[in-house]
Amino acid sequence: MKKLDLTKFLASFSFYSDEDRLFRYTRDLVLGREQYVNTMLQMILQQDINIDEIASTLWNTSANIRHLSNSGHLIGLHSHTHPTDLQSLSVIEQASEYEQNLKILKSITHTDILTMSHPCNSFSNETIQILRELNINCGFRSNMDDYYNSELEYPRLDHILLMKSIN
């Protein structure tokens, strides 16, 4: 933790507070996925939280997604379990994340899924290839950095910045 420079960690995400950066650093680089999930499960158990009771306020339901799709919105992939460091997964695990997400969204919307956004801006050349094999033709990073190498890496303005510009 002493090596962490909050001014440099996730610097391209200007909307993150120091607390956001510290949380993401701890989650991704100190704990890692397995230890983070185990810690969260322990906290849930200690607080006697019923995940099923709060799930509808945390995640979109099939009915929500279907309504958005039927209203003309494009529904895109974002992975199945939202790994925060997707690029560190094996190619097989990455493919599984997107294939499962694609299968579920197609079954809900009854449409072809052609777009996506990279979770936590984590992707690799292998990720791009997986998405192309799934016939995804437009993808978005989660920041506005001006570099991109393909149609699956367009910059995306975070909703926080959009809301600030409107207000």
Whether 167 shows a pLDDT value over 80: the answer reads: no
Structure tokens at 117: 């956004």
Whether 147 shows a pLDDT value over 80: the answer reads: no
Please report, for the chain, the start and end positions of each structural domain, with discontinuous segments joined by +. 18-52, 60-166
Cα 23 to Cα 7, 17, 30, 52, 156, distances in angstroms: 14, 10, 10, 25, 22
pTM for the predicted model, two decimal places: 0.81
Q: What mean pLDDT is predicted for residues 22-27?
A: 92
Structure tokens at 123: 């992707």
Percent of the chain exceeding pLDDT 70 equals 100
CATH classification number, 60-166, choose in 3.20.20.370, 3.40.50.1970, 2.40.50.140, 2.40.280.10:
3.20.20.370
Q: What mean pLDDT is predicted for residues 2-6?
A: 86
| Mean residue pLDDT across the chain | 91
Residues facing residue 116 across a β-bridge: 77, 139
72 vs 120: which has the higher pLDDT:
72
148 vs 86: which has the higher pLDDT:
86
CA distance 84 to 27: 9
Q: How confident is the model at residue 35 (pLDDT cuts 50, 70, 90)?
A: very high
CA distance 19 to 52: 28
Q: How confident is the model at residue 73 (pLDDT cuts 50, 70, 90)?
A: very high
CA 132 from centre of chain: 18
Cβ atoms < 10 Å from Cβ of 68? 15
The answer to whether the CB of 126 falls within 8 A of the CB of 89 is: no
